[in-house]
Amino acid sequence: MIARLVALTLAAGLCALPFACAESPDKRRETAVIAPSFELYVKSGVDLYLTRRCGTLDCHGAPGRPLRFYSTFGLRIYSEDAALVPGAQPTTQEELRANYESVIGLEPEQMSRVVAEGAPDPRQLILLRKPLFEEFAGGERHKGGPVMALNDDGYVCLSAWLAAPPDAKDLGPAEQNCRNAGAVR
């Protein structure tokens, strides 16, 4: 008797399952991202740091890798007209924009939250948390190993960029950190 009851309940549950998930997506719904400045991303050297440090052809400059970066130091945006080749031509505006969108699109909602709050703890973003040494990364594994330390030039540069107000003209003292980080090969 009990077995029959259990079987009936299971069958009813299975029949109901397709209908439970059948709601069609709302096509008008959009996710707006409160994003850090694109101008500062380029001008202050955030892109230079990320592409030199992370965007090599064997890491985030590899086709198929998440958080993909394009630059003269690694992968190029495929274009029959421009025929871009690593190391041959400088990084293009299109590549800079693609890198920026890659960064802000990694966790769009969380990026909005962190930027809106002035980035009091940028480790809320996987962008800064994952590449950190394990003791600071909360046990998250980065396939390329730890590549950033708390308060090293790269970390300070990225944090300052995320915390910069929308009308900021530069990153203040962190400009020097960005220069140092971008110079490291």
Specify the stretch interacting with another protein by CB under 8 A; choose among 81-89, 113-121, 127-135, 166-174.
Answer: 81-89
Specify the stretch interacting with another protein by CB under 8 A; choose among 86-94, 115-123, 124-132, 167-175.
Answer: 86-94
Task: Supply the minimum distance, in Å, between the C-beta of residue 103 and another protein.
Answer: 18
Q: Would you say how long the chain is, in residues?
A: 185
Q: What end-to-end distance do the CA atoms of the chain give, in Å? A: 72
173 interacts with another protein by CB under 8 A? no
Nearer to another protein, 86 or 108 (CB): 86
| C-alpha dihedral (121, 127, 133, 135), degrees to nearest 10 | 50
Nearer to another protein, 90 or 165 (CB): 90
Separation between Cα atoms, residue 169 and residue 37, nearest integer Å: 10
Among residue numbers 98 through 137, which ones bind another protein (CB under 8 A)? none
Burial class (CB in 10 A: 0-12, 13-18, 19+), 114: buried
63 interacts with another protein by CB under 8 A? yes
Task: Supply the minimum distance, in Å, between the C-beta of residue 19 and another protein.
Answer: 39
CB 137 within 8 A of CB 155: no
Residues that bind another protein (CB under 8 A): 52, 54, 56-59, 62-63, 72-79, 84-88, 144-145, 147, 185
